[in-house]
Amino acid sequence: MRVCVVGIGYVGLVTAGCLAETGNTVTCVDKDAEKVAGLNEGHIPIYEPGLSDIVRRNTHLKRLRFTTGIKEGLDDSLIVFIAVGTPSGPDGSPDISAVLSVAGQIARRMESYHIIATKSTVPVGTHREVTDLIRSLTKVPFDYVSNPEFLKEGAAVEDFMRPQRIIVGADNPKVHETMQQLYAPFMRKRNRLICMDPASAEMAKYAANTMLATRLSLMNEISALCEKTGADIECVRRGIGSDTRIGADFLFAGLGFGGSCFPKDLRGLAWLGQRHEVDMPLTRAVYEVNLRQQRRFAQRVLGYFQDCLPHTTVAVWGLAFKAQTDDVRESPAVACVEQFLAAGMNVRAYDPEANGTAKALLGERLEIAADGYEALDGADALVVLTDWQEFRNPDFTLIKRKLRHPVIFDGRNLYEPAIVAREGFEYHSVGRAPAFSPNICDMVAMGR
């Protein structure tokens, strides 16, 4: 099948690469000429495990190509995916101007029937706006599909190749059949394609992300109570996660969620409710709890060094909003670092993939280290902010030797408190009591 994907970001590039991997001929269109030129030369603009190999292999096999010309993509395709960004406006409303712009370009240039499928996360009702816009600009027949993505950054290729579900929102039953054919290679063991109307498909995306974000915010809210009562959030997580009605996923307390999906979609759903005069107090609370969790953890670090902040250097491990990505958009790690810098702290940070994107965001205020252990040299504490695998089993002896004070703040609960304490550290995590080495129980931190 011949496919066009407009927008070469996380969603667009993963969609294009994975569809090409199953034998389709895919043309990718983006207005960024520099990005297109780089991709044609084999340079992948984002870090996503497994994506580079797929893109390079299918580019070499000529099943995947990149261009700035939307007409070129349309002339060589039946299905056109719109995969452009929909950032939040000042009032939380999703900005769908890029979606409408692409839809208008498609309408003005298509000369034969196309299925136009939106991958971008858009508010309920966008299907009508896009359909009405295209009809106002062309007499060429088309069908519209709402086909939301459910990809996790850091596991997007795996999610696309082995989806839990694929939602297709269309009014024409024949379009469902065509989309079934396109996605058949990804559903050999079980049919995971769910057909519905476009409005329900648009709502399903927002509802799914809000449900997952709610689980995370609930656990983070409980973690604060655990710290006050002496309960252990990890024990609580195992206790409730064993209930089959609840399940174990998305129950890890920590710094909260970030990235391009959950925060934006919560704001978008709250805005949609306001627009339709439906109060959304739970959605707003989930978002606020997430922000509060980030501030609460950063304040624990700042409070520890409150009397000597301008003379304090912290080593930070992790800047991306989660492991296996270089994305720092709305990253809880970056939010914490910004609070440290605003308070006068010196921050020396390391991330396996996000050093460049974080430096571009924070500028010269942030010192970047070549590796995690270099970041420790002369620092007063280690602060772990992203759950990369390489941080999970570090050399505690080396960490202790490099730090000025044996203090670790773990915003991702990567370590067992008793083990870290035995290694000679003062250890602070989320939703668990602090742990102290027997050798330093009487030690008073500098300036306290």
336 tagged catalytic:
no
- Pairing verdict, β 2-6 and 193-196: unpaired
DSSP 3-state assignment of 278? coil
| Euclidean distance between CA atoms 60 and 392, whole angstroms | 37
Strand partners, 2: 25
Q: For residue 349, which phi and psi values (nearest 5 degrees)?
A: -120, 160
Alpha helices in 120-197 (DSSP H): 126-137, 156-161, 173-183
DSSP 3-state assignment of 155? coil
For tokens 């079934």, name the residue: 180
Our measurement of the distance from residue 344's CA atom to the centroid of its chain's CA atoms, rounded to an integer in Å, reads: 29
DSSP 3-state assignment of 352? coil
| Euclidean distance between CA atoms 27 and 251, whole angstroms | 39
User: Which tokens sit at 304?
Assistant: 């520890």
Q: What is the DSSP letter of 312?
A: -
Amino acid at 192: R
* Catalytic residue from among 261, 308, 336, 441: 261
| Euclidean distance between CA atoms 432 and 226, whole angstroms | 7
Alpha helices in 138-247 (DSSP H): 156-161, 173-183, 198-229, 233-241
CA-wise closest residue to 27 among 15, 10, 44: 15
In 202-235, which positions are buried (b, 16+ CB within 10 angstroms) versus exposed (e)?
bbbbbebbbebbbbbbbbbbbbbebbeeebbbbe
The angle formed by the CA atoms of residues 54, 56 and 59, to the nearest 5 degrees, is 105
| Euclidean distance between CA atoms 244 and 261, whole angstroms | 27
| Euclidean distance between CA atoms 177 and 64, whole angstroms | 24
The angle formed by the CA atoms of residues 377, 380 and 384, to the nearest 5 degrees, is 85
Contact between residue 59 and residue 65 where contact means Cβ atoms under 8 Å apart: yes
Question: Measuring CA to CA, how many Å separate 94 from each of 87, 268, 280?
Answer: 6, 6, 16
The number of beta carbons lying within 10 Å of the beta carbon of residue 243 is 9
Catalytic positions: 261
